[in-house]
Structure 1
Amino acid sequence: MTVLVTGGAGYIGSHMVLALLERDEDVVVVDNLVTGHEWAVPAGATFYKADIADPAALDRVFASHRIDAVMHFAGLIIVPESVRLPLDYYRENTCASGVLIQRALEAGVESFIFSSSAAVYGAPGLEPVKETAPFAPTSPYGTSKLMTEWMLRDVAAVNPGFRYAALRYFNVAGADPEMRAGQSSGPSTHLIKIAAEAATGKRDGIAIYGDDFDTPDGTCVRDYIHVTDLADAHYAALSYLRAGGASMAANCGYGVGYSVRQVVDAVKAVSGVDFRVTQAPRRAGDPAMIVAAPGFAREVLGWTPRLDDLPTIIRHALQWESLLSDRKAREQDAR
């Protein structure tokens, strides 16, 4: 059987393709390359340049392969942008997902793994967030993810052969330890990514958005997870569903929070570069603190993180930025 990975030319999707290929899975990638790169699709996967909102394109893919599982990563991910452009996020994240779910259901797909987000919880407070926390998204991005979860829930309720796992990410960072994949799409908005860009000279500094949150140092606190551990969590979810596990949702985080200032200081320490840091106003949609209660994924899926260490995450992110600089220089020389 074959696993379809949407968004497999992007950051998390390309790591997932690597993880699947390492486990001898047959992999098909569908990506429209709006933010992804075809060169980022690992060798060994079958690639289709297509949009998941195009039902005819999806039908051709499903007709050409015996796909038993879908891993759905495609979508828009920038929280402040979603506040400015809400309809874009509902169209690309929710409506397009509806097309994919329908076509997967009609093709007889049994397992569907969805790239959801901790943004479905909104600003739950200072305690680690369990999967049973109330839904209260503070941005259209979070709402678009929650609406897709609800579609999956309702479809699974009336189709016994279709089961899903919604994995709610916290803050994903780092790169493949062997430097086969990393975060390449722009513009960059995630803290460790932009701090790594500052440390490698790609930007003249970074801004901290808000210093008056109700947190120990006034800056936002987040739970950072290594992208390779996240890919492992997805494979654990796939194995769980294939073994007959019931539809479920699980947090993907480590259960440890770091403030923006702590992360910036850590990037400076690991890189040895004292880049410029300025203070800026809060951004719309940013909760003060959100940290995972990760026990459910470990207990139910049997997921065991291997790279649960902030300096390791940062070191891999820095190594990847250096490789991207080398790649860009080679491309310029070739021109």
Structure 2
Amino acid sequence: MKVLITGGAGYIGGTVATILKSAGHDVTVLDNLCHSKRDEVPVGVNFVEADIADRVAVESVLRALQPDGVLHFAALIEAGDSMRIPEVYFRNNTASTLALLEAMHTTGVKKLVFSSTAAVYGEPEVLPIAETAKLAPTNAYGESKLLVEYMLQWFNRIHGLRYASLRYFNVAGALPGRGEAHEPETHIIPLILDVALGRREKIFIFGEDYDTPDGTCIRDYIHVEDLAAAHILALDALNKEDKIICNLGNGQGFSVKEVVEAARRVTGHKIPVEMKPRRDGDPARLVASSERAKEVLGWKPQTPKIEDILKSAWEWHQQRYPKQ
């Protein structure tokens, strides 16, 4: 199989690229390296440094490659940041994806797996969240992704684009040699592990007055390898299905305080905490129903326990940042 992966130097895209390459597939990564480095591109893949907004460059790659499909991960992902500079998120996540879709249509590439998000649901009315739930994002990041989903529906209806939109929840964990690290880092698990490594003094928890048992936000965590497997299954399923919309999660939630406690058990470190006010746009609970993914893709998480997810991340972080 021949695949183009946008954002393939990043955490999730790079994990998918690594797994596909190790399985013998022909993988090309397209990334502008705005939040990653050249040495983070998986070994052995073809690499093109370009922005998906550059339609001429993307068309050139697609014409030369003629891939079986595109796995689209390139995006900005920080919900809190999107409430400060929403225009940047709509430009990078929504408008740039339109340029990619136009390039695919022009070059006749008909299959896309889209990295969507649970943020399209906003504050859920019923848990666990099913794909039929109301779509009402509470932040510009979620809205920027939902607008892409609307575009995909119309490209499917009018141009025959076959697509899978995978709405995932909090991704964490690591493969041997590849894990989660952003610059700047805003995701809770790598931040917590930085504290355990002595790279940060403490972890900040934003809000302890939510309507949850311990007052902190509850999220559904999924191991990055399970997530990667779902993308590969989705690309294959598009040979039969012309449109797939699936949640990807474990179906159980953990509060921020519970994640900190689990990290303390895994690392053996105290991990000091400081409470902060709520951030704009953070829903109290996000927990997935992944029944449709199991039914349509034949997918099931292999690493559902938060301790096991944290353990894989901890092993990688210790290798990446050995204590001096």
1:233 aligns with 2:230: yes
Aligned to 1:170: 169
Alignment of 1:215-254 (within 5 A): 215-242=212-239, 244-254=240-250
Preserved contact between residue 76 and residue 93 of structure 1 (Cα < 8 Å): yes
Measured after TM superposition, the shift of residue 109 of structure 1 is 1.1
Whole-angstrom distance in 1 between the partners of 2:100 and 2:33? 17
1:191-226 CA distances to partner (integer Å, 9 max, x unpaired)?
Answer: 111111111111111111000000011100000000
Q: Pick from 275, 298, 301 the counterpart of residue 279 of structure 1.
A: 275
RMSD over aligned CA atoms reads 1.3
Whole-angstrom distance in 2 between the partners of 1:33 and 1:238? 25
1:158 aligns with 2:154: no
Preserved contact between residue 125 and residue 289 of structure 1 (Cα < 8 Å): no
1:64 aligns with 2:64: yes
Between 1:89-98 and 1:55-64, the stretch displaced more is: 55-64
Preserved contact between residue 181 and residue 190 of structure 2 (Cα < 8 Å): no
1:217-244 CA distances to partner (integer Å, 9 max, x unpaired)?
Answer: 11000000000000001011011012x2
Aligned to 1:74: 74
SS of residue matched to 1:168: strand
Whole-angstrom distance in 2 between the partners of 1:317 and 1:52? 30
Measured after TM superposition, the shift of residue 37 of structure 1 is 2.1
Aligned to 1:269: 265
1:164-209 CA distances to partner (integer Å, 9 max, x unpaired)?
Answer: 0000010001111xx2211122111111111111111111111110
SS of residue matched to 1:250: strand
Measured after TM superposition, the shift of residue 11 of structure 1 is 0.4
Measured after TM superposition, the shift of residue 307 of structure 1 is 1.3
1:267-305 CA distances to partner (integer Å, 9 max, x unpaired)?
Answer: 011000002101100001100001000110011110122
Preserved contact between residue 192 and residue 260 of structure 2 (Cα < 8 Å): yes
SS of residue matched to 1:202: coil
1:141-166 CA distances to partner (integer Å, 9 max, x unpaired)?
Answer: 00000000110110010123x20000
Between 1:121-130 and 1:77-86, the stretch displaced more is: 121-130
Whole-angstrom distance in 2 between the partners of 1:5 and 1:172? 18
Whole-angstrom distance in 2 between the partners of 1:92 and 1:238? 24
- The number of equivalent residue pairs is 324
Aligned to 2:189: 192
Preserved contact between residue 31 and residue 49 of structure 2 (Cα < 8 Å): yes
Aligned to 2:124: 124
Could you tell me which runs of 5 or more consecutive residues in structure 2 were left unpaired when the two chains were aligned: none
Measured after TM superposition, the shift of residue 126 of structure 1 is 5.3
Aligned to 1:181: 178
Could you tell me which runs of 5 or more consecutive residues in structure 1 were left unpaired when the two chains were aligned: 330-335
Q: Would the alpha carbon gap of residues 8 and 224 (structure 1) be closer, same or farther in structure 2, given more than 3 Å must change?
A: same
TM-score, normalising length: structure 2: 0.97
Alignment of 1:1-335 (within 5 A): 1-125=1-125, 127-160=127-160, 162-176=161-175, 179-242=176-239, 244-326=240-322
Preserved contact between residue 117 and residue 167 of structure 2 (Cα < 8 Å): yes
Q: Which of structure 1's runs of 4+ aligned residues deviate more than 2 A?
A: none
Counterpart residue type for residue 174 of structure 2: A
Preserved contact between residue 68 and residue 108 of structure 1 (Cα < 8 Å): no
Whole-angstrom distance in 2 between the partners of 1:8 and 1:318? 23
Q: Would the alpha carbon gap of residues 267 and 126 (structure 1) be closer, same or farther in structure 2, given more than 3 Å must change?
A: farther
Preserved contact between residue 59 and residue 106 of structure 2 (Cα < 8 Å): no
